[in-house]
Structure 1
Amino acid sequence: MRKSLIDQEAVAKCPPVPQDSWLDLDALATVHITSEDSLFPIEDALIDKPDAKPWSGWRAARTGPQIVLIKFDHPVSLRRIHLRIVEAASPRSQEFAIFASSGENDHREIIRQQFSFSPEGASEEVEDYTVSLAGITALELRIDPDRAHDPTQSQHCASLQSLRLA
């Protein structure tokens, strides 16, 4: 096995991805969703708006697992997936998975992540993945907002503060 240590100072000096290098999903894709709260439309999570509310983003209108499916007009290459989820109100454990498709018979899981939210501590999940995906025709985000599925507890709606693709 070959290995090397990553120079942390070099990583810290890497400039962030300029905002204009994120894909313009408004112009490149159609989005399909299983549920949507009219006060928190999916556009607020996928499109940068200069006049965005302090807490914007998407929220499902009903509880339970949800899907956000992005279908690209033309195949795209992806090198980065960045998402942010905020839950400051109540503790819960959630899971999300991202799938990529590049054809009818090619639908594969790219990422699966579980996270526990706690209003007194971890109230925000930010994930930034480097990927190498070519010819992608669809990207699917599945969110299970409450892994406990305990009917005696309050049920949670899936939410997404932001999703950016480069």
Structure 2
Amino acid sequence: MMRKRIIDQDPGKASAAEGKWLDVKDLAQVEVTSEDEAFPIEDAFETYDGSSGWRASEPGKQTIRVIFDEPQRIHTIHLYFQEEQHARTQEFLLRWSPDEGQSLREIVRQQYNFSPDSSTEEQETYTVNLEEVKVVELTIKPDVGGGSACASVLRFCMA
């Protein structure tokens, strides 16, 4: 008999269902440049579909820095952004460091166009092979055109 299993086609849901995501609240300290009280940073690290995610309290470039208590091995990073109201081009930069952040190494820099009529979500799952990770940093420029959008991330998971 063939061994088989049914997998979910959404990589974020599949990994969350299997319990592989790191529990950031128990493993790290998180720094943010700003935070809307209704959308705290801890919500971005929740892996269930009902999470409201994180949102900045002010427009402009924002940074989320995860500082692990002990170095971690990371093989997957999942980011989920959602914008349903404003057309804009967002850029984000994802970096990591084996030390306390003195030497940040780029994982990916990407731009995405949001449009309320057609493109309201961006989900990215990156397969990486990072050893001895002490810091993971996500910098979001919510509107490269200089508009007044506030940065947000619905889900930020690592395994």
* TM bracket (short chain): 0.7 to 0.9
Mapped to 2, the partners of 1:47 and 1:130 lie a distance apart of 20
Q: 1:129 to 1:49 in 2, by over 3 A?
A: closer
Q: CA deviation at 1:107?
A: 1.4
Q: Which has the larger radius of gyration?
A: 1
**1:126 and 2:123 equivalent?**
yes
- Which runs of 4 or more aligned residues in structure 1 lie more than 6 Å from their structure 2 counterparts after TM superposition? none
Q: Percent identity?
A: 41
**1:85 and 2:70 equivalent?**
no
What letter matches 1:16 in structure 2? Answer: A
Partner of 1:72: 68
Partner of 1:59: 55
Q: Deviations over 1:123-164 (max 9, x none)?
A: 0000010000000000000000000015xxxx1000000011
Mapped to 1, the partners of 2:14 and 2:47 lie a distance apart of 16
**1:24 and 2:23 equivalent?**
yes
* Structure 2: segments with no counterpart, 5+ residues: 1-8
State the TM-score, normalized to the length of structure 2. 0.87
What letter matches 2:23 in structure 1? Answer: D
Query: What pairs with 1:1-166 in structure 2 (closer than 5 Å)?
Result: 16-19=14-17, 20-48=19-47, 52=50, 56-104=52-100, 105-150=102-147, 155-166=148-159
Q: CA deviation at 1:49?
A: 5.7
Structure 2 counterpart SS, 1:38? coil
Mapped to 2, the partners of 1:145 and 1:156 lie a distance apart of 6
What letter matches 1:102 in structure 2? Answer: P
Q: Deviations over 1:98-142 (max 9, x none)?
A: 110002543111111100000000000000100000000000000
Greater strand share, structure number: 1
Mapped to 2, the partners of 1:148 and 1:82 lie a distance apart of 26
Structure 1 counterpart SS, 2:78? strand
